Amino acid sequence: MNSAAVKPTPAQDEQDFLPLLGTDYVEFYVGNAKQAAHFYKTAFGFQSLAYAGPETGVKDRASYVLVQNKLRFVLTTPMRPGNDIARHVDDHGDGVKVLAIWVDDARKTFEETVKRGANPYLEPVVEKDEFGEVVRSGIYTYGETVHIFVERKNYNGPFLPGYKTWESKYNPTSTGLQYVDHCVGNVGWNEMNTWVDFYSRTMGFHNLVSFDDKDISTEYSALMSKVMSNGNGRIKFPINEPAEGKKKSQIEEYLDFYGGPGVQHIAIATNDIVHTVGELQHRGIEFLTVPASYYEDLSARVGDIDEDIAPLRDLGILVDRDEEGYLLQIFTKPLQDKPTLFFEIIQRKGAKSFGKGNFKALFESIEREQALRGNL
């Protein structure tokens, strides 16, 4: 059986005990949030939205909230040594702490997930300001990563209570990034199914696609992956684990440098990948590259597509086709010194899959980078 076949979604009428409305925000714990916010604004085209820190009465941290279309990123740094944020940065470097999910009822979401075995991170808490109230709760997932559930139906402030609008005179134009398509976690040896079961048991997710080491082991970089999705498909969490190969798996490299499981990549959707990637490259973002031969075989492999091949080749954008359509995707190099978090830029033209046809070229490209770092 083709292990990458897309499995059917559960019947539509099946009761979803955990309705999720989408990604609410992604929060990064970083060593210097002021500079990180500047980087994400400048290079990725985010705009300033809100701020919390000493000036707004929050003493232990500074948090900068950035927005671009439906994307919200929070960059948080510790103000003093020794707190949980400082310890997180010390242990992992810059990385994703929170994958926040927009829900209708944060108390019920907490109750249902904890009842099913999730480990509590934040007991339901009501936060109020002049714009109304927000209820938040949270559970742990892999490593030190957490999900925060955000109920904001009675709120119309800029972000969350405690944050003030951040008026900035520096507002680079958007690069066309739209929303989070999927967030991928790397977990330890033989832990993939533990986390697949976690999302299925505690949050009612189903397994959309699986890739085994035969689909995706190149010369060296073996891994296994299963994509978990919620009922309405708005939240998709692939889970990777390392597999034994000729040399060190790219997932093992991540685990070594991050100091355990964590978020490997965030895939961000665009409606015009040629425009978006052109802008990102112009602003200094570096992407993985594939050999020129990739584009010589492209038409034969994916058939007719709307885009001209030349700009795709010049920018290094990859294409893959499935039963329902095709997709265009490209991967940044790591976004910090450690070979940990990176972004994927993706434009879906009907395809609901993850680019299996590109795995060989992509993983060979990752291995070239791994070799340059001396980690292969």
Binding site for ligand TYF (CB under 6 A): 182, 184, 225, 238, 240, 250, 264, 344, 354-355, 362
3-class SS letters over 113-134: HHHCCCCEEEEEEEEEECCEEE
DSSP at 8: P
Residue (181 or 252) nearer to Fe ion, CB:
181
Contact 42, 56 (CB under 8 A): no
Measured in degrees and rounded to the nearest 5, phi and psi for residue 96 equal -85, 125
Q: How far apart are CB 331 and ligand TYF at their closest, in Å?
A: 7
Radius of gyration of the chain (CA): 20
C-alpha distance from residue 128 to each of 72, 109, 135 (Å): 20, 20, 9
Q: How far apart are CB 344 and ligand TYF at their closest, in Å?
A: 5
Number of residues that bind Fe ion (CB under 5 A): 2
Distance CA 72, CA 67 (A): 5
> Bridge-partner residues for 241, per DSSP?
224
Distance CA 161, CA 101 (A): 17
63 touches which of Fe ion, ligand TYF, none (CB within 5 to 8 A by kind)?
Answer: none
Q: How far apart are CB 154 and Fe ion at their closest, in Å?
A: 34
344 near Fe ion, judged by CB under 5 A: yes
225 touches which of ligand TYF, Fe ion, none (CB within 5 to 8 A by kind)?
Answer: ligand TYF
Q: How far apart are CB 239 and Fe ion at their closest, in Å?
A: 12
Query: Interface with Fe ion by CB under 5 A: which range of 77-85, 273-281, 311-319, 342-350?
Result: 342-350
Measured in degrees and rounded to the nearest 5, phi and psi for residue 114 equal -70, -40
250 touches which of Fe ion, ligand TYF, none (CB within 5 to 8 A by kind)?
Answer: ligand TYF
Residue (45 or 355) nearer to ligand TYF, CB:
355
Per CB under 5 A, contacts with Fe ion among 254-273 are 267
Q: How far apart are CB 211 and ligand TYF at their closest, in Å?
A: 7
Measured in degrees and rounded to the nearest 5, phi and psi for residue 334 equal -50, 145
> Residue 210, Cα to own-chain centre: how many angstroms?
18
Q: How far apart are CB 238 and Fe ion at their closest, in Å?
A: 6
Residue (175 or 264) nearer to Fe ion, CB:
264
240 touches which of Fe ion, ligand TYF, none (CB within 5 to 8 A by kind)?
Answer: ligand TYF
Residue (128 or 214) nearer to ligand TYF, CB:
214
14's tokens:
């099946």
Beta strands in the chain (DSSP E): 20-29, 47-52, 61-68, 71-78, 95-103, 120-129, 132-140, 146-151, 164-165, 177-186, 206-211, 223-229, 236-242, 262-270, 318-322, 325-331, 342-349
146 near Fe ion, judged by CB under 5 A: no
288 near Fe ion, judged by CB under 5 A: no
Residues contacting 257, CB < 8 A, separation 6+: 93, 338, 339, 340
Q: How far apart are CB 256 and Fe ion at their closest, in Å?
A: 21
Residue (262 or 355) nearer to ligand TYF, CB:
355
User: For ligand TYF, which residue has the nearest CB?
Assistant: 354
Per CB under 5 A, contacts with Fe ion among 43-62 are none
Q: How far apart are CB 260 and Fe ion at their closest, in Å?
A: 21
Contact 117, 139 (CB under 8 A): no
Give the residues lining the site for Fe ion (CB under 5 A): 267, 344
